Structure 1
Amino acid sequence: MRRRTLAKGMLAAAALGLSLASAQAAEPLKIGAVGPKTGPLAGGAAVTFWPNVKLWAHDVNARGGINVGGEMRPVEIIEYDDQTNPGETIKAVQRLATQDGADFILAPYGTGFNIAAAPLFDRFGYPMVTHTAITDQTEELAAKFPDMFFTLGGAQGLVGSVVDILNELRDAGRIGNKVAMVNVADAFGIEMAEVARPLLKEAGYELVYDSSYPLGTQDLSPIVKGAKAAGPDAFLAWSYPPDTFGLTEQAMIEDLPVKVYYTAVGTAFPAFGAKFGKAAEGVLGAGGVHADGERFKEYAARHEAVTGAKPDYWASAMVYSSFQILEQAIEAVGSTDRAAVAKYIHENEFDTVIGKIRFDENNSNPAYWTVGQWQGGVFKGVRSTGREGAVPVRLKEGWK
């Protein structure tokens, strides 16, 4: 499915000293956007990816466009639904590059989909600023695809922070030594579990339950029942949005008696807090934000005003930030020369809604949120690799 959208907001160009006629006369920048609108990951993309595509296009065009060498050029978004199918992601990127004439293409949604599309971004010379890819393969991938950038962190950072929290609580005598772990059987879940096993073993934990399930699994009750029967002190799930919700619903039904309950992608969604209410209190999850920071609150208010929905408390702001990086690089270079834009991204720092971002020698953002927790109806960052605003961790005190 394809849909072209020239975002609203052109009237605001007049306030910047541009007439509507001149703004419309400028040739639009064609920006490709590929992500799931259908399939198992469509719900996650509908929260994290697509609203930020809409918001960014709105914000850019409300300012009159992107300044390309002195000419304000609006953005035209060319959208494709990849149906949560890496093959469709590849087809869409190829179509954007060879048929649609996209000036730039936004990175896709999801770890495996970014890795699948990377060869095409590289072949056609598009800088690829990923926003929802979590992997420890950054050094290898950056060597193979020099203009592939990573903003959201790696498995070692996310898993390591979870283990640090377990250590802190165990050392304080607040939890025991038994861990149940499950993972979705796709690129993200498999890598996270593979990283977690040796880290937990090294830290002296007993992995009393270790199971995986296919992406799109509807009935997760056997997973939670099996974990409960193992008698864990902590439950860890390297999950994607549908199963994050499904596992938590089953944990409530089973009254899973753990003091640490962690689910990964989707835990930071506002809908998670809305669905589970008081039961969400104390639930740990991937990512987080400085929820009380003025920059995030301003972004969140604008996101809701433009899209009609709240952003999530993790990757939403990073998705928008990745688009800001691309925009700032285009304006600094003053052209659509993709090689020059990529070079600028390598060499410079960017001011984004998530804060300052500068990529290291492996094209990675070294400062990112790793763990958050629902506290007082808000998903707040509790661990990061260098961001400000973390709050102390609390124990999970039941499901009622």
Structure 2
Amino acid sequence: MRDLDLLAVHAGPGHALFLLGEPPAGRPRFSRRATALVRDAAAYAHAALDALGTDPAEGPEPRPEPAPRAYRELLDAVRERHPGRALHALTLGPAPALEGTRHHTLAPATRWPSLLRVLLLAELPRDPVALAAALAGLPATGVRPDGALRWVRPPAPPSAQSAPRPAPRAFNQLALGSYNEKLVIESIREAGTLSRVEIAASTGLTPQAVSRITRNLLTSGLIVQDEGRSAGAGKPRIPLRLRPDAGYAVGIHLDPWMITAVAVDLCGQVVARRRMPLEAPRDPEECLARMAALAREVAAEVPDAGPVLGYGAALPGPLDRRAGVLLDPPLFEDWARVDVGASLSARLGSPVVVEKDATAAAIGERWLGAAERAEDFVYLYLGAGAGSGAFLNGDVHR
């Protein structure tokens, strides 16, 4: 049953009903091209599962038979939201017959909260974005103090169901507004310009959500409107695009012979660049001070003193990327276990994202270079040494 989707659950002490649906015909394969959004979705899904808590008892307690009406109402709700799906019913404890479902009886010792987590975690690798969207209401519903839970999966947006090339589906809940905004911004960035109708079609967001998000992005100055273009009869569609000078980012590259710092605008165009040669010996403290100074210089050169949204550092390997620590790279004496991320962050007064130089170059090619939108490729990096970065199935490979 690994390909089944959990569509609803009605449970309490000593009884439970899980309704699972077989995949709809023609369901497209999930694409992992929007890797940052996928990671956000997976993190949200895990947080939603953590909010469920744990099973309140070691085993089911004898309870009166749950009202057949509650189970049948749940079945009606699933059929209304997910028409045409072949359904499986997993039941714990006494349960009425549910017409039109394949029935499976759970062992009496089954702990339904644990089974619920297993079923949802089994879905996570298939499509974390869709699962996170489905779970958006689960923490608010939660397991009540009496140990009961009722949840019905919301239907997928119609545009996401019919799109020939699936984009990451959206979270329409207010609590996930930041995710939706990133999804809209990324869609506009990839296309160059998009109308609101095209944004809704490519993201799976409702037209109302797109209208609200684009209004907020226009107010904040992150996007701008171009002149309307005719799409036949009806009101002309108004293209939206990113405003390049709405924000900037600073990147720092450490090489055995050179420190390079650049500032780029919101569309990835370089607006300032500085270089500083290095000579042996390369003292860590002195190099880090130079890196921070160079980053501040290019940040000061962005047009009209625009806002710097963040900093990143591309470093030679080996590297503990999560900790931001260099692990004794070649041609760098006395650099074993140097915490580059924390040191630069303290000097710049801002968080610094740290990445291996070859991987950072591959991400850049995927974003704006020759490999733009490619799902699978290898990038060869030749500098003072040699390295490589790779994308597999649209996700960076580390």
- Pick the TM interval, shorter chain: under 0.3
Higher helix share: 1
Determine which structure has the larger strand proportion and give its number: 2
Structure with larger Rg: 2
TM norm structure 2: 0.28
TM-score w.r.t. the length of structure 1 is 0.28
Structure with higher RCO (Cα < 8 A, 6+ apart):
1
